[in-house]
Amino acid sequence: MTEDEFDAFYAATFPRLTGQLSAFTGDREEAQDVVQEAFVRAWDRRADFLADEAPEAWIRTVAMRLAVSRWRRARRWLELVRRTPPPDSTPGPGPDHTALVAALRQLPKAQRMVIVLHHLCDVSVEQIASDTGAPVGTVKARLYRGRAALAKQLTPDETADGPVRNRKESGRVG
């Protein structure tokens, strides 16, 4: 069957086959999908089988098998979903995580980016410099400043004994 003959065959039989499969599946869109898929498979074999045999019957059979396969897959998936217990509730982030995220948000974007890449994503300083286009020294400076800012934000201002004092204020010089 030539391409032109196949095109004419498609135009003449697609609506009829879609109607038949629509009655079979109960879903017009599903019927169109499986008939279309059957025609795609027939296209690859048009020179071999469509000349003397009953091409419409072959396409209908392939489309019906495709529809049944889809239905079986959907049914298996539904059975699996019904058998699978719902996941345990996932606990929210802890106070340490929440504090870290809040502190990171306070950093300038450039510092936050290098802190996250280096400490949370394990990216080397050299790779960060390459990825961002910043010199290695700039990346190191951003890491230093970002860590210092995080330390100020995440270090408690008071200890169990009261406010933290520097050594000169406490009388201990060392």
Give pTM, 2 decimals. 0.46
- Residue-wise pLDDT for 76-111, tens only, equals 988 888 887 777 777 788 888 888 888 899 999 999
Quote the pLDDT of residue 144: 95
- Residue-wise pLDDT for 111-157, tens only, equals 999 999 998 888 999 999 998 899 999 999 999 999 999 999 888 76
Q: Are 115 and 146 in contact (CB under 8 A)?
A: yes
Between CA 98 and CA 96 the distance in angstroms is 5
Higher confidence at residue 122 or residue 173?
Answer: 122
Which pair of tokens denotes residue 109?
Answer: 């974007």
Q: Are 120 and 101 in contact (CB under 8 A)?
A: no
Neighbours of 163 (CB within 10 A): 8
Between CA 102 and CA 153 the distance in angstroms is 9
Q: Are 107 and 151 in contact (CB under 8 A)?
A: no
